[in-house]
């Protein structure tokens, strides 16, 4: 593996969780640089020519896009690939990954962000909680102005977009519950990029017991209400199972 690996990430995000999970699963020693949503733009743009995280630096190579990052890590670790060799299974994995990356995750994120933004102190804690006090102070100060940009940048155009995000949550939990019914996994009988992608995405609605994805307490009532909608769905139990079985660092009790 490379001698220097650094992940430029947001503290709490489904796409960043995908990259972190793959790095941890493959036991790649790496450094994490946490960026604040908003102030991240100049740095990420300079590195990649676009604005989105995660970004992975592997020695002098820069990779962005969560699926591209996992694919690159697979190339560097071919013995533990997260995509099946079997062509039909690989196509099914790719279809599920694409459904989450391009449809379900951005829609669900609107409902999650809208709930996080219902309390700006909370939003600041989620994204800047591990920063020095002066940075937390200025970040919180800027949030009333930044809120509109975050809403616009993520397509939160009004109540209908939030409702659609809530519906996307149900679609996603239904999808995983149905697909995992036979073997416990979405494709074939082993953990693949499809499971990793779906569980990372749905973690935003569950807060699994992992230090990278359980948000601080107490959560705002709007976020609690959103989580409560899915708590008893069989798909929620599946996400927790994926974390317990396959996500290093998950608390087991």
Q: How far apart are CA 204 and CA 162, in angstroms?
A: 15
Nearer to ligand GSH, 113 or 180 (CB): 113
Q: Tell me, what DSSP letter sits at residue 84?
A: -
243: which residues sit within 8 A by CB, 6+ positions away?
199, 203, 208, 209, 210, 250
- 10 scored as a contact of ligand GSH (CB under 6 A): yes
Q: Which of 51, 83, 119, 170 binds ligand GSH (CB under 6 A)?
A: 51
Binding ligand GSH by CB under 6 A: which of 8, 15, 21, 127? 15
Which 88-117 positions form the footprint of ligand GSH (CB under 6 A)? 101
Please state the closest distance from residue 2 (CB atom) to ligand GSH, in A: 20
Cβ neighbours around 226 below 10 Å, total = 24
Q: What is the DSSP string of 154-186?
A: TT--SHHHHHHHHHHHHHHHHHHHHHTTTTSSS
Q: Which stretch binds ligand GSH (CB under 6 A): 61-69, 71-79, 126-134, 222-230?
A: 61-69
The 31-34 sheet, strands edge to edge: 31-34, 5-9, 55-58, 61-64
Which tokens go with 183? 């073997």
150-169: contacts with ligand GSH (CB under 6 A): 153
Nearer to ligand GSH, 79 or 196 (CB): 196
Residues touching ligand GSH, count (CB under 6 A): 14
The region of 59-67, 121-129, 135-143, 175-183 touching ligand GSH under the rule CB under 6 A is: 59-67
Question: Collapsing DSSP states into helix, strand and coil, what is residue 57?
Answer: strand
116 vs 250, beta carbon nearer ligand GSH: 116
The β-bridge partners of 9 are 34
* CB nearer ligand GSH, residue 54 or residue 169: 54
Residue ranges in contact with ligand GSH by CB under 6 A: 10, 13-15, 37, 51-54, 65-67, 101, 153
């Amino acid at each position: 593996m490379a001698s220097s690996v650094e992940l430029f990430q947001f503290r709490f995000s489904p796409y960043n969780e995908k990259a972190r999970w793959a790095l941890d699963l493959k036991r790649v020693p790496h450094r994490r640089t946490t960026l604040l949503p908003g102030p991240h733009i100049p740095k990420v743009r300079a590195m990649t020519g676009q604005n989105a995280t995660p970004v992975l630096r592997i020695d002098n190579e820069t990779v962005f896009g969560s699926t591209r990052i996992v694919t690159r890590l697979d190339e560097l670790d071919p013995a533990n690939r997260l995509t099946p060799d079997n062509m039909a299974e690989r196509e099914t994995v790719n279809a599920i990954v694409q459904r989450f990356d391009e449809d379900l995750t951005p829609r669900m994120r609107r409902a999650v962000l809208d709930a996080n933004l219902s309390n700006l102190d909370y939003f600041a804690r989620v994204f800047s909680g591990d920063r020095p006090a002066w940075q937390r102070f200025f970040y919180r100060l800027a949030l009333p102005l930044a809120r509109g940009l975050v809403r616009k940048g993520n397509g939160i155009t009004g109540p209908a977009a939030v409702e659609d995000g809530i519906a996307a949550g149900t679609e996603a939990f239904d999808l995983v519950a149905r697909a995992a019914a036979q073997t416990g996994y979405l494709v074939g009988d082993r953990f693949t990029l499809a499971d990793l992608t779906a569980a990372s995405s749905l973690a935003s609605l569950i807060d699994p017991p992992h230090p990278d994805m359980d948000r601080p307490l107490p959560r705002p009532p709007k976020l609690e209400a959103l989580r409560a909608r899915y708590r008893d769905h069989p798909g929620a139990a599946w996400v927790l199972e994926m974390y317990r079985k396959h996500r290093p660092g998950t608390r087991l009790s």
